Each structure stands twice: as structure tokens, then as C-alpha cells.
């Protein structure tokens, strides 16, 4: 079965991203597919490459990047929500005349259409948020 995942709350403040991560891991272990995870609202902040949590704490961004690398999960960050919150990839930073970009490996910025498409193409849509 194909699961699509919507994450609409930011990391560290709220448990939503952790719950989603454990759900996705369990789904993959059970042999299901998770073709895409869509990050919306403050959820886009998961994708920052500049987060430096204490060494004895989980690194939420790295956990997701590893899932993308090991299982081909497509991690999509909503462009409209990301731009509001200062999350830019290299192309977008250039286009907007900004001096830095901060989208971590395994994540990509795209439009809200990717969320709708995920709803159409997966069997179940799971939402984790606040």
C-alpha cells in the first residue's frame, strides 16, 4: 500500500515530525511504500541544513534525509510556506537576490500541487500537525 504523509508542524517544538518519522519507518519496515512526504506550514523548517541540535539529541533533519537516501522517499517542501519562513534552495536564493540557501540534502522545494498529486496517487493520506 502507498502512504502519503503531510507534516504541518515544525521540528523540536511539537512532536508531530517525530510521530510522522516513526510512522514512516514502521510503514517501510512492514513493506509498504511511502513515495512522498510533504512539508507544509512550519513543517518546512525540518528541511533546514543549519540546525545544530545538541549531540545527545536526535537530529530531525538528518533522520529525514537518511530516509530519502535509503528508501527513495521524496521529501517536498512547500515553496510558498518555505519562502515566508526563510527556507530557500540555491536557485530560489539566486532568484530572490539572497546571500544564502539552506535546504538540506534529500529535500526539494516545490509547489502545493505536489500535495494534491500525493493525495491522488497514494492509497492513504496521513496528516501529522498541531
Partner 1 sequence: MEDDVKKFLYVNRKAPYGTIYALESLEVVLIGAAFDQDVSLAFLDDGVFQLTKSQDTADIGVKNFSPTFRALGDYEVTKLYVEKESLEERGLTADDLQEIVWEDEDDDYEEKPSIRIVSRAEMADVMADQDVILSF
Partner 2 sequence: MATLHTVNKSPFANQSLLSCLAHAKDGDTVLMIEDGVYGAGKGTGLAEAMTAMASRVALVALQPDLNARGLVADRILDGVKTVDYAGFVELAASHDRTQAWL
Binding site for partner 2 (CB under 8 A): 1, 3, 8, 15-16, 19, 22-23, 25-27, 29-30, 32, 123-130
Q: Which residues pair with 16 in a beta bridge?
A: none
Dihedral Cα 19, 24, 30, 33, nearest 10 deg: 150
Active site residue 41: no
Helix locations, the chain, DSSP H: 16-29, 60-71, 79-84, 90-95, 113-121
Catalytic residue of the set 20, 47, 78, 115? 78
119 binds partner 1 (CB under 8 A): yes
User: Rg for the chain (alpha carbons), in Å?
Assistant: 14
3 binds partner 1 (CB under 8 A): no
Q: How far is the CB of 89 from partner 2 (least distance, A)?
A: 28
Q: How far is the CB of 113 from partner 1 (least distance, A)?
A: 6
Catalytic amino acids? 78
Amino acid at each position: 500500500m502507498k502512504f502519503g504523509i503531510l507534516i504541518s508542524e515544525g521540528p523540536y517544538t511539537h512532536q508531530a515530525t517525530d510521530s510522522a518519522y516513526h510512522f514512516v519507518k514502521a510503514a517501510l519496515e512492514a513493506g509498504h511504500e511511502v513515495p512522498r512526504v510533504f512539508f507544509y506550514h512550519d513543517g518546512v523548517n525540518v528541511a533546514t541544513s543549519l540546525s545544530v541540535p545538541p549531540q545527545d539529541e536526535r537530529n530531525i533533519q538528518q533522520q529525514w534525509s537518511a530516509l530519502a537516501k535509503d528508501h527513495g522517499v521524496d521529501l517536498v517542501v512547500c515553496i510558498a510556506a518555505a519562502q515566508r519562513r526563510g527556507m530557500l534552495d540555491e536557485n530560489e536564493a539566486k532568484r530572490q537576490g539572497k546571500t544564502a540557501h539552506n535546504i538540506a540534502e534529500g529535500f526539494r522545494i516545490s509547489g502545493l500541487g505536489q500535495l494534491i498529486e500525493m493525495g491522488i496517487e497514494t492509497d492513504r493520506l496521513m496528516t501529522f500537525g498541531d
